């Protein structure tokens, strides 16, 4: 299999991981981004819930080179995280990708701008856990993200109250859709977002790295 080492930090990755995943014009695609260090069944639960409740055609499981808001001291290689994510995803509708490394983008706002430019014929929905909602107002260009891309927030253990306490949630309160209308999110012009409740996993990447197994993402 052809390997890709032309981009720093991508050693060991196959070329397919760095390509933009194939998608047809008119499709709706969920974007689930993160370090996935390591990935775990809780991530798959979020992906499956979003696919079902939002009635999406595909979901891109985007393994990032590294979250700018997190310590990278214990970050596994990108190739290792992609391989582990593929092993967990196990759904033909889910594509594990590291295309952000190829285009050398670090921030979600830049990724979304890139996708709008390359695939204006596809509807993208940003998917994130409720724990990320609590710090969303710290993301670079978060207002631009909300103004240009529909957002789905999936409940996470210990993070439900972020729906009430998050500065971003408060700022965007008028743009929140009723959960019963989640399937319409992909058709709504941003700003628009929905908070989804559902089965939750207490498994956490942070706890897995510490060898204890549960809470945060």
The string of pLDDT tens digits covering residues 17-60 is 999 999 999 999 999 999 999 999 999 999 999 999 999 999 99
Q: In this structure, what is the dihedral angle of CA atoms 182, 173, 125, 206, given to the nearest 10 degrees?
A: -100
Longest dimension (CA), the chain: 49
Domains of the chain from N-terminus onward: 3-210 (3.40.50.620)
The string of pLDDT tens digits covering residues 78-96 is 999 999 999 999 899 999 9
Q: What is the pTM of this model?
A: 0.87
- For residues 180 and 208, give the distance between their C-alpha atoms in angstroms, rounded to a whole number: 34
The count of other CB atoms within 10 Å of the CB of residue 169 is 21
The count of other CB atoms within 10 Å of the CB of residue 73 is 5
């Amino acid at each position: 299999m052809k390997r890709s080492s032309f981009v720093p930090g991508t050693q060991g990755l196959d070329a397919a991981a760095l390509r933009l995943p194939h998608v047809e014009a008119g499709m709706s695609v969920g974007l689930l981004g993160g370090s996935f260090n390591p990935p775990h069944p809780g991530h798959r639960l979020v992906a499956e819930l979003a696919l079902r409740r939002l009635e999406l055609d595909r979901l891109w499981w985007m393994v990032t080179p590294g979250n700018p808001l997190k310590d990278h001291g214990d970050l596994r290689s990108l190739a290792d995280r992609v391989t582990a994510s593929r092993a967990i995803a196990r759904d033909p509708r889910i594509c594990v990708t590291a295309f952000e490394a190829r285009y050398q983008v670090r921030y979600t706002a830049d990724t979304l701008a890139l996708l709008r430019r390359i695939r204006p014929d596809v509807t993208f929905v940003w998917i994130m856990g409720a724990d990320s909602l609590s710090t969303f107002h710290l993301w670079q260009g978060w207002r631009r993200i909300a103004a240009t891309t529909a957002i789905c927030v999936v409940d996470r253990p210990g993070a439900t109250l972020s729906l009430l306490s998050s500065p971003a949630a408060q700022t965007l309160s008028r743009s929140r859709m009723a959960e019963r209308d989640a399937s319409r999110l992909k058709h709504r012009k941003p700003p628009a977002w929905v908070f989804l409740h559902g089965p939750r996993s207490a498994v956490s990447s942070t706890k897995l790295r510490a060898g204890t197994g549960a809470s945060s993402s």
